Amino acid sequence: MSQKQVNIRNKKAKFEYHLLDVFTAGMQLTGTEIKSIRKSKASILEAYCICDRSEIWIRNMHITEYENGSFYNHKPRTDRKLLLNKKEIKQIEKFLTVKGNTLIPLRLFLSEKGWAKLEFACAQGKKLHDKRQDLKEKDDRRDMDRAMKR
């Protein structure tokens, strides 16, 4: 397929959370939703995943309405089901029983076959001192790279 590569990222995820396990899941979408995703008209910055009755859902993901859609158009912020194996769902359910654990979407992309896939991680929130430490390490790496360049 000669189509434009779609790669929508959540850049703040690594800064805000400790990422533990990463999963890739398919998404159950309607026709106008996938058309908007192919035009890169989606955002996962405010999104998070939940587990409800042994199913994993992504909540608060924004997919802009398709401009050429008629009255069949989708709602921009509905819950969308993620398609995973039972084994993976049980592992995620077990992870979410601990207080402070969450599921954070990292990347929305199209597979080689044209299917919409979501990469999400089991994560724990970082404390303020952890974020400061990450910024310090980032600055140190940048300074080292500058010194090596000279």
Instruction: Tell the residue number behind the tokens 């010194």, with chain if given.
Output: 147
Q: What is the pLDDT along the chain (150 residues), one digit of tens a residue?
A: 445 688 889 888 888 889 999 999 999 988 888 888 888 888 999 999 999 899 999 999 998 888 777 777 888 888 999 999 999 999 999 999 988 899 999 999 998 998 999 999 999 988 888 889 988 999 999 999 999 988
Number of domains in the chain: 1
**CA 32 to the chain's CA centroid:** 20
Dist CA 80 CA 63 (whole Å): 11
Dist CA 123 CA 48 (whole Å): 11
Which residues form the domain of 140? 7-149
pLDDT of amino acid 34: 87
Residue 2 is assigned to a structural domain of this protein: no
pLDDT of amino acid 114: 86
Residue 127 is assigned to a structural domain of this protein: yes
pLDDT of amino acid 30: 83
Tokens standing for 103?
Answer: 């599921």
Tokens standing for 10?
Answer: 């959540």
Q: Is 146 helix (H, G, I), strand (E, B) or coil?
A: helix
The CATH number given to whatever domain includes residue 60 is 2.40.280.10
pLDDT of amino acid 1: 42
pLDDT of amino acid 84: 93
Residue 1 is assigned to a structural domain of this protein: no
Taking the CB of residue 111, how many other CB atoms lie within 10 A of it?
10
Q: Which residues are bridge partners to 18 per DSSP? A: 124
Dist CA 109 CA 46 (whole Å): 17
